[in-house]
Amino acid sequence: MIIRPRPTGWQLLYILRGSIVPAIAPKVLAIGVLAVAVAAFERYWHPFGRDGVTVVPFTLLGLVLSIFLSFRNSACHDRWWEGRKLWGQLLIEARSVARAAAALLPGEPALRTRASHLLIAFAHALAARLRAADQAAAAAPWLADDQRAVLQRRNIPDAVLAQLAGELAVPLHAGRLDPYLYGQFEARLQAMSSVQAGCERIAGTPLPFAYTLLLHRCAWLFCVLLPFGLAGALGWATPLVSMLLAYAFFGLDQLGEELEEPFGLEPNDLPLDAMVRTIEIDVLDALGRRPLPEPLQPQGHVLR
């Protein structure tokens, strides 16, 4: 996720870090080269007559395309924002479990430590699962030797939650924890499982491919044909106007692609590593651990 002050003045013209320009620059330059060729052809040969081609069809097509792109980007932003809310909910649940363990299990420091480490292992494993990374490697540093059987499971975050439920059930079976109080823990674990399912739903259900393909094709069709409609009226100004419109349409299209998969590693994706570190810090703080890890900071204005 891009973390930087809002640009002002001349910064709007030259900031690249955090913008969509590097991703779409080849496309915009290609349209610019095409527009130069069309403008030169029209200038010297007038293949479409002295008046050129009317721009009315391009105006209508551009209006329709901009509306479609707005709808798609709105849907993609909804996915991004829902992912952020789910991880915010996970932070709430992790803090609640750590707080409840401190209040309800004060005489069992070993169990609190194991449960806290499992909470952190769940967050690490879930982030790795959403990014198609190594779940076992992410969770392993926080697991005790007798807990490593969960690393053989296919769904490691779910296995970690099951292990955590089993750990908290030990004082229940021994009569040291009231069943009602154990139910408080179970409700939190169920909420964490719901967060995982919600994240997996977003990651596993992209926008319909046909809808995305239609917008890609229309954006390219509009930007490729636009110079032919502008050359007669604008002459050598055609490349500039064509590149500006290509920047707008290709930029919206590319931004929608990045927001559609909010758990990836693109600059505008969610900072899962930073949110996992926040959970880690808060849970260890509730445990009384010192020193605490430092929060992750943006590198080159990008927070991972």
Lowest mean pLDDT among 20-34, 76-90, 219-233: 219-233
Q: What would the pLDDT profile of 33-56 be if each residue is shown by its tens digit? A: 999 988 888 777 765 555 555 666
Asked if pLDDT for residue 300 goes beyond 60, the answer is yes
User: Could you tell me which residues come within 8 angstroms of residue 273 by beta carbon, excluding any fewer than 6 positions away?
Assistant: 127, 296, 304
Note the pLDDT of residue 17.
Answer: 65
Note the pLDDT of residue 125.
Answer: 96
Mean pLDDT value of segment 197-221: 88
Question: Phi and psi (nearest 5°) for 291?
Answer: -80, 160
Mean pLDDT value of segment 251-257: 86
Q: What would the pLDDT profile of 2-29 be if each residue is shown by its tens digit? A: 676 666 666 666 666 667 778 888 899 9
Note the pLDDT of residue 266.
Answer: 84
Mean pLDDT value of segment 213-242: 84
Note the pLDDT of residue 11.
Answer: 61
Note the pLDDT of residue 116.
Answer: 93
pTM: 0.87
Provide DSSP, 102-138.
Answer: HHH-TT-HHHHHHHHHHHHHHHHHHHHHHTT--HHHH
Residue 160: name the closest of 184, 195, 136 by CA: 136
> What residue ranges do the domains of the chain occupy?
28-113+179-275
Asked if pLDDT for residue 184 goes beyond 70, the answer is yes
Length of the chain in residues, anyone? 304
